[in-house]
Amino acid sequence: MTEVIGGDRADARRNRAKMLSAAGDAFAEQGLDVPLVEIARRAGLGAGTVYRHFPTKQALLEAVFTQHLDELIASGERRAAQSAATEAFFGFLLDVVEKSKRREHLCDVVAADASWPRPMLTASVLRFRQVLTALLHAAQRAGSVRADIGPDDVVALTVGCVSMLASRRDRAAGHRLVQLTLDSLRPSAVVTEGQYFRDSPDIRRDTVTFCAECKAPLMVRPTGRPVRYCGAACRQRARRRRLAS
């Protein structure tokens, strides 16, 4: 009797794994409207088996998304244990982007439905944040990530990278954009401060102007001659251009 029960449990685990795999592929290919009977067909199981495990579409969505997060968590923990801090952090972010590019529909439903996340998903979300934060802080201590970056910044950038990669047919071009975006987290990255974007309506034109050569922001001096260039290099380039003309 024990062996039969054990066999039943093993079959149930295998069936559940088939359902989650089939559901993940179906949602990625056809969106969230795909019926449970189609998922059952893809998994090679009867519809009744699917309904016994997941009585509602929302329950199945939660399980698929939880499994996805758990896989990312395992990836982050492996990298933390086996790699240096910098390699572990950026490698983890690339894992998240690459493995999430076909899960946009799931992200949308979780973000849009106020009843999410449920208890099972809540635990995975919390653990994911813990792993991400630990990797981020380790990379910051190693000096490879800007000190003013927080976990929320990383999550926002990563979500943007997922969208960029998913929308690009040219895989190489998509990965290049992702790499450029993630490189902005490094200390050497030069990021324009929000109040100095050229087209921002918040710029105070009486206190900020721009280099006549490279368009970098310049602070207007209260006294003396107006500043036209950000430095000697731009001043010399402008002079050579005048002489050439």
Question: Residue 112: what pLDDT?
Answer: 53
Instruction: Take residue 161 and report the two structure tokens written for it.
Output: 């990278």
Fold of 61-191: Tetracycline Repressor; domain 2 (1.10.357)
> pLDDT digit string (tens) for 176-218?
888 888 989 998 754 544 444 444 444 343 444 566 766 555 5
* Span 92-101, pLDDT tens digits: 999 998 888 7
Express each pLDDT in 81-127 by its tens digit: 999 999 999 999 999 988 887 666 655 555 555 555 577 778 888 89
pLDDT at 208: 47
Q: Where are the domains of the chain?
A: 1-55, 61-191, 204-244
Q: What is the pLDDT of residue 78?
A: 96
Residue 2 predicted with pLDDT over 50: no
Spatial separation of the C-alpha atoms in residues 214 and 130, rounded to whole Å: 42
Which pLDDT tens digit goes with each residue over 8-61?
678 888 888 888 888 888 887 777 778 888 888 888 888 888 888 888 878 888
Query: Looking at residue 8, what is its pLDDT?
Result: 61
* pTM score, whole prediction: 0.65
Task: Give the pLDDT score at 21.
Answer: 86
Same fold, 1-55 and 61-191: no
- The pLDDT value recorded for residue 200 is 42
Q: Is the predicted pLDDT of residue 149 greater than 80, yes or no?
A: yes
- Region 57-80: mean pLDDT is 89
Check whether domain 1-55 has CATH 3.40.720.10, yes or no: no
